Chains A and B, each alone.
Chain A
Amino acid sequence: MTNASEVLSSIQSAFPGAVLDSRVESDRRLWATIDSKKILDVCKHLTAKLDFDHYSGSAGVDWMARNEMEVVEIMTSHGAHQVVAMLKVKTPRDNPSVPSLVPLYWNANWYEREIWEMLGINMEGHPELYPLLLSDPLVGSWPWRKDFKGYPDLTTGERAVAITTPEGYTDYYFPPTQAEVEAGTVVAERPKYPTFLEREEREIKSDSEMIMHLGPQHAMVPGPFLLDILVEGERVKKAFLDIGYIHKGIEKIMENRSWLQGITYTDRMCYVASLTNNECYCGAVEKILGLEVPERAQYIRVILEELSRIQSHLIGTGEFLTLIAGVGFAPWQYMIIDRERIISLIESVTGARLTHTFVRFGGVRNDLPEGFAEQCRKDLPYMKSRIEEFIDLFAQDPIYHARMENIGSISPETGKRLGCSGPVLRATGVAYDMRKEDPYLVYPELDFKIITGTRGDSADRIDVRLREMLESIHIIEQCLDKIPSGPIKTEAKIPKKVPAGEAYYRVEDPRGEMGMYVISDGGDKPYRVKVRGPFYATFQTLTPLLEGVYIADAVAIAGSMDGCPSESDR
């Protein structure tokens, strides 16, 4: 098995002088600063020679004091080895520019667009450098830079000036006030690019084609996002995705809150998976602090995260099946009734139904209450029987099969290339699960297998989720037997100021691979928090998947991804 130091020596021998600085944190983490001229060659080498076939994302960091900016490329592998290579590329702060990795990895597209619109780092060679999360009037203010002064207040209706567009619609314009111009919150110079509408309309080639809007409020993915499909007859010719409707700027907010307060914000990225979000953030900070979590706390975390996975899969599956209505029965109600039991179990420990704020640095908030294990042993066999019934029902419903089978199929190779993860990737047959890939907590001690599908279509995605719930129940049952007594919080005192350092921590979210890249500069607040969300990666795969399908299947494909725009927009 390859380890981090071998990867480093391989890069150094292949490209002498390319590695400017390096640090081997452990066998599974490599931090290296690469010369920006050689980054493309290094990545090519990693992919070709060292099985780094998964481009996991990238993060931009603004180092204002050092007068430079940094783009961190996160390279991992789909099961060949467990090394995560964090490759940093530096660029001067005035006129920042780094080479784009889109020619090598298709899924680098969105990550680099985000870095460009948020930090103003130009991506050389990027084919479509358009804003992704920000709305057009705000592009050019580079909000994630450290010297960003804040947006102008666009919320007051009195300031709005109505203008009539050439098409006859009314649009609104907010003229900046003198105070805002002086404060520097107004965008001085907006970059030129075609807007979303212009990009769409460019693609209309004949009179028989038209654009159909699905969204910004559409039930196929619970949350606002715009999916425009270019249709000719019943066929989708091209799909356009516009996200950012609920961009909350959580990463920027967390830079302005203390370390402890940050936990509450991770809850709000995706409320059905808030425990794994907590875990991801706390795990990253624990790594920087070098904290050891007591074993009992680790078991409690595993129990709750698996319970949370069950309820997330139940709501994801049930909600989606309402969309392809007419499948003979309405599983949504039954799934939501069952989910209530799981939620009650979680609530009895955390004290909240959805936004738990439960995981703490070096432990958990509460211990398991009296009678929790008994209640679990009563509820879990029931859940098991119900899920088996669901699997049975889906397996024999002909309408369900007609709507779901061989719809939106992804081959394992395509799945790897598109960079999706979680049940979407596992349905294609690639056994890629963070619980095995990058083991955290007590998962190595537990017995469970990774559920995979065969066809990679919509039906398989649902099937993988349902069978994963059975696996989660199996994990919880083991945990209840094995859980030791002891403290639930570390003895060590958690300092208000976290020592300078950086960490990348990955967990298996109900939707897939979730990673958080946390940087501390020794202050009482994080210097930078980058969330590599699972649905962000899966969302990106939607546009190529929709090309050539029927309009009705667009909903079946998008819904089976079990999406959460709130998490992808952050």
Chain B
Amino acid sequence: MLKRKMIKNFTWPLKTATREIEVTRLYPEFMMNLPAAERGIHELDATICIGCGTCARVCPNSCIEMVNFKFGSPLKNKKMQFPQIDYGRCMFCGLCVDECPVECLKMGQKVTMAGWTREDIIKSPDFLATKRFSAKEVADLEAEAKRIAAEKAAAKKAAAKEGAAKEGAAKKPAKEGAAAIKNGEAKPKEGGAA
């Protein structure tokens, strides 16, 4: 009785083992199919990143740091600061992606990131940026940023002058003038900092 009962327990594995052939994944020769929702290495769209640092603030492990990077848009990202991610600490929770106000940070299907040292897996925006401007485009944008800043400063100066003229010369003309000059100086400086 005992023997007869046991037989199924031996035949079943044999049957199953021959039926299910492919169980082992042949990684790294063959990469498995990852779903579209996969949370892998980040992909940064540097052309639309505004450098607000929300991702760095929301990160539970504080693995994101905002660093300087040249190939972004100086029009949107005045300080030219982009996220750098320490994958030694990242736990791929995706909060940075969810909280990004302009949706420039995404997580892709790329998952290989091994390095020889700890510094190797701190990935700079240069590594993360899938979309970026070329050096020439950046120069053009910078020039435009400068032009816009100068225009703004000029407009402000004109407005300040007008206001001063309207209100009469007695009411704090010196202070307003100083403020306008300050703004005019500060704007191009920020654009050129990159």
Question: Residues of A with Cβ closer than 8 Å to B?
Answer: 257-258, 260-261, 263-265, 267, 327-330, 334, 337, 340, 344, 347-352, 355, 357, 360, 365-366, 369, 389, 393, 396-399
Contacts and interface: CB of A to CB of B under 8 A. Distances in A.
B106 to A, nearest CB: 11
Interface in B1-56: 2, 5-6, 8-10, 12-13, 16, 20, 23, 35-39
A244 B37 CA distance: 36
Contacts of A260: 58, 95, 99
Nearest to B16: A334
Given A328-B10, A369-B35, A397 B95 contact: no
Contacts of B36: 348, 369
A348 B6 contact: no
B93 interface: yes
B120 interface: no
Nearest to B57: A258
Given A264-B91, A329-B12, A350 B37 contact: yes
B18 to A, nearest CB: 13
Contact of A397 (B6, B13, B94, B107): B6
A364 B39 CA distance: 15
Contact of A349 (B2, B16, B37): B37
B60 A397 contact: no
Among A352, A396, A397, max chain B CB count under 10 A is at A352
A355 B90 CA distance: 13
A47 B28 CA distance: 61
B60 A351 contact: no
Nearest to B13: A329
Contacts of A257: 60
A348 B10 CA distance: 35
B35 A348 contact: yes
A389 B58 CA distance: 47
Contact of A389 (B2, B12, B23): B12
B98 interface: yes
B133 interface: no
Nearest to B38: A351
B95 A329 contact: no
A495 B176 CA distance: 38
Given A328-B10, A330-B13, A348-B35, A357 B5 contact: no
Of the candidates B9, B36, B58, the one having the most CB atoms from chain A within 10 angstroms of its own CB is B9
Interface in B44-97: 58, 60, 91-95
19 contacts: A257-B60, A261-B58, A261-B60, A264-B93, A267-B93, A329-B12, A347-B38, A348-B35, A349-B37, A350-B37, A351-B39, A352-B92, A357-B95, A365-B94, A369-B35, A393-B12, A397-B5, A398-B5, A399-B6
A352 B93 CA distance: 8
A397 to B, nearest CB: 6
A389 B9 CA distance: 11
Contacts of A360: 98
B8 to A, nearest CB: 7
A225 B9 CA distance: 33
Interface residues of B, number: 26
A355 B91 contact: yes
A263 B60 CA distance: 10
A117 to B, nearest CB: 27
B13 A357 contact: no
Given A260-B95, A396-B8, A398-B5, 8 more contacts: A328-B9, A328-B10, A337-B23, A348-B36, A350-B37, A351-B107, A389-B12, A396-B9
A165 B35 CA distance: 57
B95 A264 contact: yes
A231 to B, nearest CB: 30
A396 B5 contact: yes
A538 B9 CA distance: 32
Nearest to B34: A347
Given A265-B60, A337-B20, A357-B94, A351 B37 contact: yes
A211 B56 CA distance: 52
Nearest to B39: A351
Nearest to B33: A344
Contacts of B38: 347, 351
Contacts of B98: 360, 365
Nearest to B98: A365
A334 B38 CA distance: 26
Contacts of B20: 337
Contacts of B93: 263-264, 267, 355, 357
A340 B22 CA distance: 12
B43 to A, nearest CB: 13
Contacts of A366: 37
A351 B35 contact: yes
Contacts of B107: 351
A264 B60 contact: yes
Contacts of B37: 347-351, 366, 369
Can you list the 10 inter-chain pairs with the closest CB atoms, starting with the nearest?
A: A328-B9, A348-B35, A351-B37, A351-B39, A261-B60, A357-B93, A329-B9, A264-B93, A264-B60, A329-B13
A366 B37 CA distance: 8
A481 to B, nearest CB: 23
Contacts of A369: 35-37
A77 to B, nearest CB: 37
Contacts of B35: 344, 347-349, 351, 369
Contacts of B2: 398
B41 to A, nearest CB: 13
Nearest to A331: B13
A157 B10 CA distance: 53
A553 to B, nearest CB: 21
Contacts of A263: 93
Contacts of B58: 258, 260-261
A493 to B, nearest CB: 13
B9 to A, nearest CB: 4
Contacts of A258: 58
A357 B10 CA distance: 41
A440 B37 CA distance: 27
B99 to A, nearest CB: 8
Interface string B90-119: 011111001100000001000000000000
Contact of B8 (A267, A340, A355, A393): A393
A393 B13 CA distance: 11
A267 B92 CA distance: 12
Q: Which among A327, A337, A340, A366 has the greatest number of chain B C-beta atoms within 10 A?
A: A366
Given A334-B16, A365-B98, A393 B9 contact: yes
A347 B8 CA distance: 34
Contacts of B99: 260
Nearest to A389: B12
